A and B are shown apart, each in its own frame.
Chain A
Amino acid sequence: MRWISLYVLIILVVIPHVACALSFGSNVQVHGFLSQGYLKSSNNNFLAASRSGSEEFTEVALNTNLSFWQDFRIGGQLFYRNLGDYSEDEVVVDWVILEYQPFDSLGVQVGKCKMPHGFYNATRDSSFLQPMIFLPQSIYDESRRDANLAFDGAVVYGNISFGRFGDIDYHLFAGESDFPEQSMLAYKNEESVAALIDRNNQLPLNKRDPRLPSTLNSFERNSEDLYGGAMVINGLISGLRLGATLHHSKSVIKVRGLSEPIGETVTHSKYVLSAEYRYRNWMFVAEYGQTDRTSLMLDKVSIDGPSQSWYAMIYYTLNESWSFSLLYDEFYRLKHDHHGDDLSKTPAESGWRKDIGVGGRYDFNEHCNLKAEYHYVDGTAMQLSVVNPDGVARYWSYVAVKLSVSF
């Protein structure tokens, strides 16, 4: 709630200047966008009740900024999202920051900041800016979006020039992850803890684990550790960008009445290596990522080891209006187990997700575009069972269409 209060304060500061906001040279800016989409899938639901077709695919954002004293800026973005059960369905503060940048090579932001992760995580909510509706899911998993979207803390950043060798953008950050209470991730965690308590209660009294309460009165997931960095090398060769992001995090699950957490997830390292090359009407992008993590619940390991992700995408701009994308995307829950042999109690295909996608985009003008894409998928990794309680099919597909307007 404190971020909502801070954003309201920003709006109150900005409103007296709004009359000038659209005039030339104002130090106040107000922008935003609205997107409405449609999702339809075969065999499995994807993010929403998409097997029957879903319009629960809406995003609205209001972005405000105020610069002052030459080197200072305060800004924030309110965001509303409706995406089946994976959204909070309420207005939230996407980010809100106070920034001081005295030099090109050094600045600092404090507040609720977007998490640097790969090339596109910081802009994932503004999908109208991307070639396709969905970012490659292996790196930008929608089912875990809430845990990777933003954090409360500080970022030190800057751009360092190396002359004809290009320049480097860097970001170093630390803080706490922000886990929204009304998110699918929180819901899944709470469901797991409730099931654990339920199973414990079924046991004879002398065999029950005393660390668990008899009922789940309250549950929370708290971030204890988050730090990392990102670097992008620009212009080593004209049109080329190379990037690397890395972060470490730890979160714990607490239940009321217990002094110690009953579970934790440690992400020992989560890294992404990225490359983007623009040449005339073409853009080629590839990213590779690994997440080495350990999840424990009452000292039992539920997952331990690195996942592996990668994708390659080609984007072609035919003219001012039309552009097209082709994507191949792979994810493995465990890097050393591409066949799902080590996964107990779940089908082997829950160990991977392979996606081939093709998309088209029509730009009516700079502020309005329509996108459509088709994906064919082999594998059921990435929480697909959450929206498919009756079971999942290994091979499935989905179509998405989205209209976006910005101002």
Chain B
Amino acid sequence: MFAQPCVVVANASKQIDGLTAYEVERIFLGKMKRWPDGRVVDVVYNEEKASQIAFSEHYLNRSWRQVATYWRKKLYSGRSMLPVFIDGHEQVKEYLASHPDAISYLDSDELDPRVKVIKVEP
């Protein structure tokens, strides 16, 4: 179903070697709000369909619809704002390039110097 594997990425200058899969899940579900350096993580969901599905099923153990419902429940119950949702790899890279604390995911063949791959350990 998915042409390329999905990789977790951040701003190219972000000083981080890697995260565990558990930390990636916690970050994208709003449970871990800070990078190890103490800065608030700017979570960005890439709405490019194949990446969206691959990321949510592989890293969050949920369907994309379940992820969207999860965040909307937090929003309408007053427990959280929504993370950023951006449609398309190029737009995601533009956002990451201008937001030093942002994290997102891309197809592995969409990488360029504006972003840095975060190694995810099991």
CA distance A73 to B26 in the complex (A): 20
CA distance A159 to B72 in the complex (A): 18
Query: Known contacts A29-B81, A95-B78: does B72 contact A129 (CB below 8 Å)?
Result: yes
User: Which residues of chain B from 65 to 122 have any CB-CB distance to chain A below 8 Å in the complex?
Assistant: 65-66, 68-69, 72-73, 75-79, 81-82, 84, 86, 91, 95, 99, 102
Query: Known contacts A24-B86, A163-B22, A363-B65: does B81 contact A61 (CB below 8 Å)?
Result: no
- Does B16 reach chain A (CB closer than 8 Å)? no
Q: Report A-chain residues with C-beta under 8 Å of the C-beta of B82.
A: 29, 31
User: Which residues of chain A from 144 to 185 have any CB-CB distance to chain B below 8 Å in the complex?
Assistant: 157, 159, 161, 163-164, 167, 169
Query: Known contacts A25-B42, A104-B32, A159-B31: does B77 contact A317 (CB below 8 Å)?
Result: no
> Are B78 and A97 interface neighbours, CB within 8 A?
yes
- Does A208 reach chain B (CB closer than 8 Å)? no
Q: Report B-chain residues with C-beta under 8 Å of the C-beta of A125.
A: 76
Shortest distance between the CB of A388 and any CB in chain B (Å): 32
Q: Which of B62, B69, B81 contacts A65 (CB 8 A)?
A: B81
- Does A299 reach chain B (CB closer than 8 Å)? no
CA distance A316 to B69 in the complex (A): 15
> Are A75 and B76 interface neighbours, CB within 8 A?
no
Q: Which of B61, B65, B79 contacts A239 (CB 8 A)?
A: B61
CA distance A104 to B95 in the complex (A): 25
CA distance A256 to B116 in the complex (A): 69
**Interface size of A in residues (CB-CB distance below 8 Å):** 41
Q: Which of B63, B81, B95 contacts A317 (CB 8 A)?
A: B63
- Does A114 reach chain B (CB closer than 8 Å)? yes
> Are A70 and B75 interface neighbours, CB within 8 A?
no
> Are A73 and B76 interface neighbours, CB within 8 A?
no
> Are A129 and B69 interface neighbours, CB within 8 A?
yes
Question: Which residues of A are interface residues toward B (Cβ below 8 A)?
Answer: 24-25, 29, 31, 33, 61, 63, 65, 67, 70-71, 73, 75, 77, 95, 97, 101, 104, 109, 113-114, 122-123, 125-126, 129, 157, 159, 161, 163-164, 167, 169, 238-239, 278, 317, 320, 363, 366, 406
- 30 pairs, A vs B, C-beta closer than 8 Å: A24-B86, A24-B95, A25-B95, A25-B99, A61-B76, A63-B75, A63-B76, A65-B81, A67-B81, A75-B81, A101-B33, A104-B33, A122-B73, A122-B77, A122-B79, A123-B77, A125-B76, A129-B69, A129-B73, A129-B76, A161-B26, A161-B32, A163-B22, A164-B22, A169-B31, A239-B61, A278-B62, A317-B65, A366-B65, A366-B68
